Structure 1
Amino acid sequence: MRARRSLPDGFVLGGTLRLHGNPRLRRTLSWLSLPWGLASVVALGFAAGLVRPEGWTVDARDTAPAVFLAVLVGGLVATPVLTLVAHEAIHGVLLWAFTGTRPVFGFKGWYAYADAPGWFLPRASMVVVLAAPLVALPALALPLVAFGSVGLSMFALLGLFVNAVAAIGDVYMIAVAVRIRGPVYFGDAPGARPGEAGSWYVPERSVRR
């Protein structure tokens, strides 16, 4: 599952998924995010009900309204930001583990990314990198949902919703990776800057003429 600095002999470009400046892909992901988001809400709501069956009771009578409002607004703003940072950090940790090289991070307007320029990952490694935030963040946050204070628990659950919705691009790419038959390596598109486009490379014999 180790990444490579160069492609094996006989591998050629099999396809490219351009992320930057691609309104068609943005529309596709937006439409897919609706059923995915609904399924995520149902699944995470069910999981939250299992780990915290008593639910949440908010009692702000002993808290000054200004303090309560500040905590609420601050949490609603900070939680998505921290979640997205953690999401990309987990991608980066896995990329670092597979490549042994520090990844690069960035933001392209409508999506954030972690990338390993100049490296090629086999299918199994790529799927692990893509799926990691959907596994790691629930493992970290569900204990907070279960045992944290009411506020911390609710913000942790909100973070899980944000993480799931933010992963729609990862899920889409996992589907691409699984659909490709035979050996395959994933890396940046030729000439593209980090985070702009991802390509996959397959044996030349498997490319249809």
Structure 2
Amino acid sequence: MQTLSFDIQHQLNTLQSQQALELYAQAICLELHGMDLEPEKVQRLLQTVVDWRYGVYALSAGEVVGIAGFQQPSGSFTGAGNWRSILKALGYKAFWRLMRSPLNHGPQHFADSEMWHNGLYVAPAHRRQGIAKALLQRIADVAKYQGYQQLTLRVAHDNNTAKTLYQTLGYQPQQATSAYQCLTKIVLN
């Protein structure tokens, strides 16, 4: 396998934003596979809810190949929309399917000292080349730079590959729900 050269950055130009939207739509379509949402509705949803300022991006040869978002009291990668704008983007039937899905975590409550990791996706052709690890490290750097003491995330119980990666990077298991396990990493002592 050829090693991929990539850079991690915080800002995207217009073309890269469109690439990131399409890449993240792939991730959401996989997550919502049982909900029968059309890709166009998923893209409209993401155009409504994603705030690109709360993300870091892996680029290779100018193309977005990985995305990781975060959430803090000032805003969230997937928190730009409200229920009315989401309803408008999806339509009534799809909106209620989404509201009943595991993706709807409800309001996020966290301590002032805590930043949440909020979504990670690497294009399938670019996996196992260190991109996810680099994105997660950059989010930890952002958290530390901004004075947060810990970084927390949710991972599906059946996503053993992701759980192994997170634990390799120092995340420790915390509370769990029926669908997700929370993991926390101390970034500032």
TM superposition score category, shorter chain reference:
0.3 to 0.5
Higher relative CO (CA 8 A, sep ≥ 6), structure 1 or 2? 1
- Larger Rg computed on CA atoms: 1
Q: Kindly indicate which of the two structures has a greater share of residues assigned to helix.
A: 1
TM-score, scaled to structure 1: 0.30
Q: Kindly indicate which of the two structures has a greater share of residues assigned to strand.
A: 2
